[in-house]
Amino acid sequence: MKSPTVQLIAGLAFTLLVIGGHAVFTLRSVWRMREVQTSIIDRNGLASLQLIRIQNDLNSLGLAMRDMLDNDSRYPLTAWGPPLARIRQNLEDAIAREAALAQGNRPAEQTVFLTASFADFWRTSDEALRRAGAGDQRGALAMVRNTLQPRQEALSALTARLLVDNHDRESRASEQVRDIYSEIERNSYWVLGLSLALILITGAGLIRSNRSLFAQLSQLAEQRRELAQQLIATQESTLRAISRDLHDEFGQILTALGAMLRRAQSLAPDTRFREQVQESTEVVQGTLERIRSLSQSLQPVILEEQGLAAAVEWHLAGFERHTGIAVRYDGPQAACELPAAKAIHVYRILQEALNNVARHAEVNEVGVSMQASPGEPGLRLTIEDHGRGVTPASRPGVGLAAMRERAELIGGRLTISPASGRGTRVCLELPLDPTGGAAPALEAHHV
């Protein structure tokens, strides 16, 4: 059986590698995108705002010059000094800001041309105002019409072109951002696919090894059970054989010995000898009774002859006698006869449970109840004491395991739980076959 750990670690490592690679790629893309966003799009947007401001001011200049040339104005051209100065101040501020933002984005000659054009415009307008101030209204107006107006129009056109350039640059940057986005998207799909495949492969391997592990486990459990049951069956048949031998062989020998001794006694002349034989007869009688009792306890004949209920009552009486622990017995109302092959296991479970009580519970009373009803739950045997109980520390011994095996062997269910109050409650539930013809599994295992 191969351990799946190596496979698992490999899968995990590959997945981490894929995710890590993706993270690095995504971060690099985001950095690139931020670069494009801040250095091109944002700066460009701000520059465009300034260009719009410039255009606005140029438009105001255009309107101002149109008004200058309207000859219905009652005010001299010199009156335009402050308004033009205001527009100029705003314009120069916008131009400076725009230049700072557009740095590097524009050919140097374009910048030079722009600066020169504006400088030229203001020089001319100053000159026009100076002429107007000196009284040459017509000359000043001619300058406005012939020089300033065309220049203003040219500057407007140039600003418009710069705006278009900015827009183009922005579009290209946006395209770049779009490309980066689709790269990330593509990459994400790859990562998703790879991760899914890795997870699938690792998962499938895991499931397979898990399944074979479980199969092995249940096989082992089955083997162990069979072994245990064989052990029990062997034990039972051995006990039965010993019991029978004791009863049949030694019983007959002792009975014969007893009869011979009695005959010898009747023939004996001497009183003293007769007394000796009498004593021997009594010893033989006692041994016989003990062998019978031993045989009975190893393999109670009463079980086979009178059934479970009688055997239980017989055993309880013996238990009381031997241990001095009082038994409160609640016997079955109805008949609850089981095939002997099953009944022996019920009997053994009772025996073991009571043994445990006697050995561990430190009580002087135990409650036993056996109830029977046809069908479910069938036979219910309960042994309950209020002794020390099953502590977490107490290790389940071989006895308990054997009880469980026996219960399982006859298709019953054994539960061991704390009794109400304190102590231990052992309960065996066994469905009663209404036909009573359940084939006892035990015979098959006879050795």
By CB under 8 A, name the binding residues for another protein: 60, 63-64, 67, 73-76, 78-83, 86, 90
Q: Looking at beta carbons only, is 15 or 60 nearer to another protein?
A: 60
Please state whether beta strands 326-330 and 375-385 pair in parallel, antiparallel, or not at all (unpaired).
Answer: unpaired
Q: What is the DSSP string of 110-176?
A: HHHHHHHHHHHHHHHHHHHHHHHHTT-HHHHHHHIIIIIHHHHHHHHHHHHHHHHHHHHHHHHHHHH
Q: Looking at beta carbons only, is 72 or 185 nearer to another protein?
A: 72
Q: Looking at beta carbons only, is 64 or 114 nearer to another protein?
A: 64
Q: Looking at beta carbons only, is 68 or 400 nearer to another protein?
A: 68
Minimum gap (Å) between residue 92 Cβ and another protein: 14
| Contact in structure between 102 and 47 (CB atoms under 8 Å) | yes
Is 52 in a helix, a strand, or coil?
helix
Minimum gap (Å) between residue 112 Cβ and another protein: 29
Minimum gap (Å) between residue 79 Cβ and another protein: 3
Tell me the two tokens of residue 447. Answer: 């050795």
Q: Looking at beta carbons only, is 66 or 328 nearer to another protein?
A: 66
Minimum gap (Å) between residue 80 Cβ and another protein: 7
Burial track 345-378 (b if 16+ CB lie within 10 A, e otherwise): bbbbbbbbbbebbbebbebeebbbebbbeeeeeb
| Segment 224-230 long-range contacts (CB within 8 Å, at least 24 positions apart) | 225/405, 225/408, 228/401, 228/402, 228/405, 229/405, 229/409, 229/441, 229/445, 230/445
Q: Looking at beta carbons only, is 51 or 336 nearer to another protein?
A: 51
Minimum gap (Å) between residue 51 Cβ and another protein: 16
Minimum gap (Å) between residue 60 Cβ and another protein: 6
Tell me the two tokens of residue 138. Answer: 């017509």
Maximum alpha-carbon separation in the chain: 189
Minimum gap (Å) between residue 75 Cβ and another protein: 5
Q: Looking at beta carbons only, is 90 or 285 nearer to another protein?
A: 90
